[in-house]
């Protein structure tokens, strides 16, 4: 199959690599977003997909707005590709582009559609405490992730999984599923299945306000927010902002789910049960070797990793010692 690959971030790179390595496919070109200023220094840097495409010697197009770029549109039309493969490209494709390839535009989306259509499916699935996510390949149409589904592959979610870890796993899953999807399409062994609209949900772009922690929410809800929007959730502490990137909800329901690195917490559960109620956001306990425990609207939350202003990320226990935390201090 002659393919054109559309993608931008690191999430899309495993899929591009897989298609480049497999002899069933010819990558006739790569379309990615223009170079952007990235990082603290603001240096103009190519996307992760562009860097991978350059290493492979692929032709590359970087239109500012692909729908309004006649040169790119003409070049894509001339290629007469069998399929356009789209993984986290970042621009909406027009009906003209969708109609160009013989087998249409095939997208790998990081959720089990029709759940979590939209820009941030991984983050919102964790935020809502899902125990399973996955990848769906679909035939793109003019809607937002509304096209007929082709193949799906599920991935279980653990209580400590964060958005970056899940993205890495789904990126690898996408690469395998895309290759399988394309081959089955070419062999005419696969047909799209309409998405059940009644089950649809959406995963919008993340806004700055989504990172703010409200300690009146429950411990499990806050933990899901922290891992879903990893590593950017923030609260106020003393005179400045405090990033919180790892946590653990110390509710008795979570005691059976302690991972090996938190085995030592089991002994603390009886003591936590005797804590006096304190307002949400209050430092209610200091667990030796682990970190501060914060009261929430429902249950205590252990802070496992934080980043004070102007400092590197540090463990919760280093934060306790370095800032001489005291019981009764408040966050938020």
Q: Is 125 annotated as a binding residue?
A: no
Q: How far apart are CA 158 and CA 321, in angstroms?
A: 30
> Does 114 show up as a binding residue in the annotation?
yes
Is 178 marked as a binding-site residue? Answer: no
Distance in angstroms (rounded) separating the CA atoms of residues 169 and 174 = 9
Cβ atoms of 6 and 108 closer than 8 Å: no
- For residue 30, what are its two tokens? 């790569």
| Close Cβ partners of 121 (under 8 Å, ≥ 6 residues apart) | 109, 110, 111, 115, 133, 203
Query: 112 a known binding residue?
Result: yes
Are 3 and 82 within 8 A, CB to CB?
yes
Which residues in 75-217 belong to E strands, given as ranges? 83-87, 105-109, 117-118, 132-139, 149-156, 202-203
| CB burial readout 145-174, b (16+ within 10 A) else e | bbbebbbbbebebebbbbbebbbebbbebb
Do residues 51 and 7 lie in contact, with contact meaning Cβ atoms separated by under 8 Å? no
Residue stretches of the annotated binding site = 111-114
Residues of each annotated binding site for (6S)-5,6,7,8-tetrahydrofolate: 111-114
């Amino acid at each position: 199959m002659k393919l054109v690959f559309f993608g931008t971030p690191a999430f899309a790179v495993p899929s591009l690599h897989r298609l480049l390595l497999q002899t069933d496919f010819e990558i006739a070109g790569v379309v990615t977003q223009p170079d952007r200023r990235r990082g603290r220094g603001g240096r103009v840097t190519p996307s992760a997909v562009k860097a991978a495409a350059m290493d492979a010697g692929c032709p590359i197009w970087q239109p500012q707005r692909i729908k309004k770029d006649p040169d790119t549109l003409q070049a894509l039309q001339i290629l007469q590709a069998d399929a356009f493969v789209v993984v986290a490209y970042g621009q909406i494709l027009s009906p003209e582009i969708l109609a160009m390839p013989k087998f249409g535009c095939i997208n790998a989306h990081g959720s089990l559609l029709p759940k979590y259509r939209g820009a941030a499916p991984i983050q919102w699935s964790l935020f809502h405490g899902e125990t399973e996510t996955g990848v769906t390949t679909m035939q793109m149409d003019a809607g937002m992730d509304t096209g007929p589904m082709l193949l799906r592959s599920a991935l279980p979610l653990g209580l400590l999984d964060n958005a970056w870890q899940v993205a890495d796993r789904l990126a690898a899953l996408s690469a395998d599923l895309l290759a399988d999807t394309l081959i089955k399409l070419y062999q005419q062994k696969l047909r799209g299945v309409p998405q059940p609209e009644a089950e649809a949900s959406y995963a919008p772009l993340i806004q700055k306000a989504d990172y703010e922690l409200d300690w009146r929410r429950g411990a499990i809800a806050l933990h899901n927010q922290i891992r879903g929007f990893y590593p950017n959730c923030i609260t106020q502490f003393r005179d400045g902002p405090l990033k919180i990137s790892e946590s653990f909800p110390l509710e008795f329901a979570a005691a059976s789910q302690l991972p090996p690195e938190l085995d030592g917490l089991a002994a603390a559960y009886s003591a936590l049960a005797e804590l006096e109620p304190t307002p949400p956001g209050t430092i209610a306990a200091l667990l030796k070797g682990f970190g501060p425990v914060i009261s929430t609207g429902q249950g205590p939350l252990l802070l496992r990793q934080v980043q004070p202003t102007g400092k590197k990320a540090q463990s919760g226990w280093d934060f306790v010692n370095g800032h001489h935390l005291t019981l009764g201090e408040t966050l938020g």
